[in-house]
Amino acid sequence: MSLSVQLGLLLSLATALASVLGFLYKHRGAQLAPEVDWRRPLHSTFVLFRSGWYTIGILVALGGWFFHVGALALAPITLVQSVIAGGLVFLTVLADKLFGQRVSRREWIGVALMAAGLAFLAATMEGAGDEAHSDYTTATLLIYVGGLSVAATLAAVVAGWGGDDAPSEPAADPLPAIAPRLKPRRASGYALSAGLFWAASDTSIKALSSHLDGDGFLATVFHPLSLVILIASLVGLLVSAKSLQLGDAVPVIAVTSAAANLTTIAAGPIVFGEPMPDSAAGVAIRLLAFALVIAAAALTPPPAMPEESSQGTATESRARV
C-alpha cells in the first residue's frame, strides 16, 4: 500500500470521528429548532443556525468534510468509505458517554453489526490500495449520480407522506402532531434520503479529484461537478436536519451513514473501476458484509414512543429555548 493511500486512510479515520461528533451536535440543535418547512427551505436553514449547538455541529462536520475531500483525493473510494463506515463504532460511545443519549441494547448491537459488516467490505478490497483509482467515464458517472439523486428525492417524498410537513396554521408546538409510531419511520426515510444525497456528492468529489493534476485547482472549482457537489450537499444537509428533528440520534445517524457509505462503496467498482474479489471466498465475505449491514439497518430504528411522552418532550425542549 502506497504512502499516499495510507495518509488517505488516516484522513478517513479523522473524517469518521468528526462526522459522528458533528452529527450529535446537530441532533441536539435540530431538536431545539422549529421543524423544517419545505415551503421555506432558506428560512428553515437560517432558523436552524440560530441554535448554537447546530452551528457547532456544522463547523465540526465541515472540518470532517475537508478531511474527507483529502482522503478521496489520495485513496480509493471503497477504502475511504469503509474506514469512515467502520467509524460508526464511535457513535454509540460518544452518544452514551458525552451526550447523555439513552442507547438501547439493540442499538449497540445494530451499530456494532454495521461496523463489522463494513469492516468485512474493507477486507475484500484486495488490489485496490496501490493507487487512488479516480478515472471514470462521464456517462457512467452521470447515470450513477443521477440515480442516487432520484432515489434520494423519492425517499424524501415517501417519508413526507407520513405526516403534515407544512401545516397551514402555526401550532402551539412548532412540531406538528405526528402519530408517534410514524415518527421513527419518517425519520428513517429522511435519513435514507440524506445519505443518498451525500453519496451523490461524495462520488462527485472523487470524480472531481481526478481533474486536479491536469486542470489545476482554479479550473476544478468551476467544473460542473462542483455545482453538483454543492447542491447535493446542501439539500442533504436540510433533509438530514429534518430526520434529526423526528428521530433519536443513534438510529437516524446509523441509517444516514449506512445509506451514504454503502452506495459510495459501490461506486468504487461501478464508476471508478476498482477491482472486485477474484476468489469465491472474497465474494462470500463481501456478501456476508452486505448481509450484516442489512441486518444492522433492521435493528437500528427504535420502538415507537408513547404519544404523550413524545409530544411532551418536544414541547418541553422548545420551552427551554
pTM: 0.75
Is 171 inside any structural domain? no
Task: State residue 255 phi and psi, 5-degree precision.
Answer: -65, -45
Coil, strand, or helix at residue 241? helix
Q: So what's the pLDDT on residue 166?
A: 46
C-beta of residue 99 within 8 angstroms of C-beta of residue 249: yes
The set of cell numbers assigned to 7 is 495518509
Q: Is the dihedral of CA 247, 250, 253, 258 positive or negative?
A: negative
pLDDT value, residue 26: 94
Q: Is residue 224 in some structural domain?
A: yes
Domain residue limits at 252: 3-166+176-319
Per the domain annotation, does 124 fall within a domain?
Answer: yes
Residue 154 lies inside a defined structural domain of this protein? yes
Domain-located, residue 79: yes
The whole-angstrom separation of Cα 33 and Cα 46 is 10
- Tens-digit pLDDT profile for residues 123-137: 665 555 555 667 889
User: Looking at residue 320, what is its pLDDT?
Assistant: 39
Numbers of helices and strands, H then E, in the chain: 14, 0
From CA 185, how far away is CA 188, in angstroms rounded? 5
The number of domains in the chain is 1
Instruction: List the chain residues with pLDDT less than 50.
Output: 166-179, 301-321
Does residue 143 lie in a domain region? Answer: yes
pLDDT, position 18? 92
Amino acid at position 129, single letter:
G
User: Do the domain assignments include residue 189?
Assistant: yes
CA dihedral 70, 76, 79, 85 (to 10 degrees): 50
Cα gap 247→255, rounded to integer Å: 11
Place of cell 460508526: 88
Cell of 79: 477504502
Rounded-to-5 percentages of helix, strand, coil across the chain: 75, 0, 25
DSSP summary character for residue 125 = -
